[in-house]
Amino acid sequence: MQCRKADTPLYNITQSVVADSAMVVSPHPLSTQVGIDVLRQGGNAVDATIALQFAMAVVYPRAGNIGGGGFMVIRQSDGQTASLDYREKAPAAANRNMYLDSLENVIDGLSTSGHLAAGVPGTVAGMFAAHQQYGKLPIAQLIEPAIELAREGFRVSQEEADRLNRFQEDFHKYNEAPNPFLKENWMEGDLLMQAELGQTLERIRDQGAAGFYGGETARLIADEMAEGNGIITPQDLQNYQAKWRTPLTDTYKQYRVISMPPSSSGGVALLQMLKMLEPYPLSDYGFHSREAVHLMAEVARRAYADRAEHMGDMDFYPVPIDSLLADQYLLDRMLNFQTDSATTSDHILAGNFTVGIESFETTHTSVVDGAGNAVSVTTTLNSNYGCKVWVDGAGFFLNNEMDDFSVKPGVPNQFGLIGAEANAVAANKRMLSSMTPTIIEKDGKLFMVLGTPGGSTIITAVMQVFLNVAEFGMDLEAAVGAKRFHHQWLPDVIMVEEGGFSPELKTALEGMGHSFREVQSIAKVKAIQVLEDGRLHGVADPRNTDDDAKGY
């Protein structure tokens, strides 16, 4: 086994590792270890994923969760695929004007913080649905490591300590009762113990999903809602179900991409962009050449424009997936593409980035087991620690996923994304996501498992890492580490990581009509590539010093 270690004193973190048979890449060394332990105990990739999802709820509280939701894409070793939607849902009392004042202006912060920002959590239902279909080891055994970590505590990393310090004011603002996260000055190595979360996890272990959606936990969530004028009811919890959906698959050259259908826009937009790129000689253009960046920005502009208009929860809105992915449609979409100038997005009011990208948080895990089964999962509370409301007595943060709805047509959410009717708030509807857990085959065999946090930038980040390998000849570590950029139609600007474009490239792109906004970092990809000799290369993103890849 070859590996490259990150310089972290507290944990043994590996950012790039090659192993013979199995691999786990997750956002925290303790959850990675839980996944590896389950694989070694004879669990499969789904078992490992379930165990590490519960463990992340403990050791990665800013995004790992039981109070949020996510998406899972599975490819079994025999080539069969599946995708699971355990995205949060709007409570039954939600309606399209719930974040507007009497003049129909958006009330600042209502969809992002506090009780009304929370959707009905889906994670626990998702884990049980996945286990019922694919689990090999008893689920109680898979939850046990999380219980232990919650009860006995763990040492927080520097990254987590920084986040906990940054959000103390919000924790005080939205919570009256004491909780384990409240502390004046968190330092790397401090012990975080979560007794109430441990008890909730025990109820889930002993009673199944009903240990979360019913009984004591549901009562505690309802009490929390009553205290903060929230609207999630015991009935909402009782009614929540995760949903198996047919994964979206299509080809790009000799590759087959398997990704998430709505309620995430990720799969559709990723495939649209790749299909629009396919006719062009991207590898001849070269990595970060003027031609490649221009072309990739232009296909992203078109895909995100479609996202804003056409995508939402397909249980509520007829998302025209077939039309959006039709070859002729995508060729037509590029008819106004000009090789030497940017197409402007100015016929609709520009969206705005209201929050620095570094304050967002989601998480992704990629797993391949010894038999070659692969799982790609992205899960989130949306922002760091979700809506900042900690369920008193039950010990976990609730999501602020309601902000992913279009709270008013044309008004951007925290990621600057706008939407319309397709993604309007409605009772029991899922809010549109950008999460893009993806698995890629090459010549019919498993080739890559990847995904990332990053809000709206998730889809373009997944695309870039794949293309860095498939078109620009990079190994996976270089592909994940390479500087990224992003375009999302509105605002009409290329977002680029600091230092990502040379002055010459910027001048050339400006000459074509592009403009830029520099950000500290874009996305944190966790990826596994199957090498030609069959070994697995796992790469954790150096942009998050907690990201960890381990294999054997």
Which residues here bind ligand DON, judged by CB under 6 A?
360-362, 380, 382, 401, 404, 433-435, 453-455, 458
Tell me how many degrees the CA angle 439-160-40 measures, rounded to the nearest 5.
45
Residues in Cβ contact with 243 at an 8 Å cutoff, skipping those fewer than 6 apart: 84, 85, 86, 315
d(CA 157, CA 192): 10
Of the pair 403, 477, the CB lying nearest ligand DON is at 403
- Considering the complex, what minimum distance in angstroms separates the CB of residue 360 from ligand DON? 3
d(CA 170, CA 168): 5
Of the pair 82, 458, the CB lying nearest ligand DON is at 458
- Considering the complex, what minimum distance in angstroms separates the CB of residue 170 from ligand DON? 16
Give 83's strand partners: 73, 245
| Catalytic hit among 362, 363, 379, 460 | 362
Of the pair 199, 423, the CB lying nearest ligand DON is at 423
Give 74's strand partners: 82, 375
d(CA 383, CA 399): 8
Fill in the amino acid letter for 513: G
Length of the chain: 552
Of the pair 59, 435, the CB lying nearest ligand DON is at 435
- Considering the complex, what minimum distance in angstroms separates the CB of residue 362 from ligand DON? 3
Answer yes or no: are the C-beta atoms of 16 and 4 closer than 8 Å. Answer: yes
- Considering the complex, what minimum distance in angstroms separates the CB of residue 404 from ligand DON? 5
Angle between helices 45-59 and 139-152 (to 10 degrees): 20
- Considering the complex, what minimum distance in angstroms separates the CB of residue 436 from ligand DON? 9
- Considering the complex, what minimum distance in angstroms separates the CB of residue 119 from ligand DON? 10
d(CA 385, CA 170): 10
Of the pair 323, 359, the CB lying nearest ligand DON is at 359
Of the pair 112, 217, the CB lying nearest ligand DON is at 112
Of the pair 85, 404, the CB lying nearest ligand DON is at 404
- Considering the complex, what minimum distance in angstroms separates the CB of residue 393 from ligand DON? 26
Strands annotated E in 355-459: 363-368, 374-380, 438-442, 445-451
- Considering the complex, what minimum distance in angstroms separates the CB of residue 348 from ligand DON? 21
Fill in the amino acid letter for 288: H
Answer yes or no: are the C-beta atoms of 36 and 550 closer than 8 Å. Answer: yes
Of the pair 275, 430, the CB lying nearest ligand DON is at 430
What one-character-per-residue DSSP string does 312-350 give? S-TTTS---HHHHT-HHHHHHHTTT-BTTBPPP-TTS--
- Considering the complex, what minimum distance in angstroms separates the CB of residue 290 from ligand DON? 29
Of the pair 145, 262, the CB lying nearest ligand DON is at 262
Stated as kind and residue range, the H or E segment containing 33 is helix 29-40
Q: What are the CA-CA distances from residue 55 to residues 6, 146, 264, 383, 517 (Å)?
A: 22, 4, 24, 19, 36
Give 439's strand partners: 258, 449
Q: Residue 378: which of 509, 519, 295, 260 has the closest Cα?
A: 260
Q: Is 81 one of the annotated active-site residues of the chain? A: no
d(CA 360, CA 104): 27
Alpha helices by DSSP H, 60-122: none
- Considering the complex, what minimum distance in angstroms separates the CB of residue 159 from ligand DON? 13
Backbone angles phi, psi at 351, to 5 degrees: -80, 175
Backbone angles phi, psi at 447, to 5 degrees: -125, -45
Stated as kind and residue range, the H or E segment containing 3 is strand 2-5
Of the pair 345, 488, the CB lying nearest ligand DON is at 488
d(CA 142, CA 374): 18
- 491 upstream amide cis, omega within 30 of 0: yes
Q: What are the CA-CA distances from residue 494 to residues 164, 336, 417, 522 (Å)?
A: 31, 19, 14, 12
**Residues annotated catalytic, as ranges:** 362
